Chains A and B, each alone.
Chain A
Amino acid sequence: MKYPYKQTPLPNGKFDWLPILPVQVSRGSLTTSPFEAIVDSGSFNCLFHGDIARAVGIKDITTGTLKISGGVVKGVRMKTYGHDIRLVIGSDNFKIEGYFSDDFPMAALLGREGFFDKYIVRFDPTGNAPGFELTRAHKS
């Protein structure tokens, strides 16, 4: 399945092209509406804003497994809390441990554990129509 990169603002009127995928999260009988997630191989886990957890019935995200995430800039720390959820991508869905934080500045990042271990991702930012392609990895 191929997806186009999408434009995202940067300071000073500039912009970047990012691999952004519409996804949904489900837990029990609750499933969110589609929201945008950045495909980011630099992220260890799949990270979500805390509002996504509340939308699937997790009232207190701090009841989950604590993991501290940091930026490449020294001193930046963010507490994230892991919860079992299902990640829905098109007609595909699977269980992952998603990490949630109310300090997360965006909707979601899809990282190595929970996404890149499920899909082979081919990025092609070249040309006038940059995009990426997902192929489901079926590991035994």
Chain B
Amino acid sequence: MASRVIVMPAQKKDESPRLELLRSAPKNSWIALSADETKIVAIGETFMEADAIAEKSGEKNYVLTRTPDAWMSRALSPLS
């Protein structure tokens, strides 16, 4: 994997550009973030749709992620 540039806030309490991008993205969607996490290069209903749009955009080293139905703390554990 190619090296990636991550924008780190100056202070731990400061918000990064990534945060506003995630808040503004549609819920229950796949999005592709630019390598520096300053822009959304693709949005799709499925992983493959967002991936295809991102690839077509020409953006290099993008990373896909999924937005949940609501932003909250979550925890899972196996039952069987």
Contacts and interface: CB of A to CB of B under 8 A. Distances in A.
A47 B65 CA distance: 14
B78 A9 contact: no
Nearest to A126: B12
Contacts of A22: 1, 4, 63
A51 interface: yes
Contacts of B11: 128
A36 B48 contact: no
23 contacts: A8-B22, A9-B19, A10-B72, A11-B70, A16-B73, A22-B63, A33-B54, A33-B62, A34-B62, A35-B47, A42-B75, A42-B76, A51-B48, A52-B47, A54-B47, A68-B79, A70-B77, A70-B79, A72-B77, A78-B76, A105-B68, A128-B10, A130-B12
